[in-house]
Amino acid sequence: RKEVEQDPGPFNVPEGATVAFNCTYSNSASQSFFWYRQDCRKEPKLLMSVYSSGNEDGRFTAQLNRASQYISLLIRDSKLSDSATYLCVARSNSGYALNFGKGTSLLVTP
């Protein structure tokens, strides 16, 4: 059973569009959640942490629903530079290992 599941996409959207990614996690002991961004053949880079109260960073909004074990990422006003793979990540309270989803691919087109 996969610990973190994401729709692989790809999501193809025009510039300026709003796009939403969803993620579910199976380990109820997971305590911390993140969205990382990975460009082709590059390292994962932290986009934002996800808090129960929801949090926003510019055009990016993340939400966490612990009851449903569901995490989301909303990107508003998409830019060409947003094209990347978005990785949903969970970490349990028993250690510091990050559990990655396989990622959702986004392509923003002119």
Partner 1 sequence: EPEVTQTPSHQVTQMGQEVILRCVPISNHLYFYWYRQILGQKVEFLVSFYNNEISEKSEIFDDQFSVERPDGSNFTLKIRSTKLEDSAMYFCASSGQGGETQYFGPGTRLLVL
* Binding region for partner 1 (CB under 8 A): 32, 38, 41-46, 49, 87, 95-103
* Of residues 78 and 85, the one with the C-beta less far from partner 1: 85
* Of residues 60 and 100, the one with the C-beta less far from partner 1: 100
Distance (Å, rounded) from C-alpha 5 to C-alpha 55?
21
Distance (Å, rounded) from C-alpha 23 to C-alpha 18?
17
- Minimum CB separation of residue 76 from partner 1 in Å reads 24
- Minimum CB separation of residue 16 from partner 1 in Å reads 30
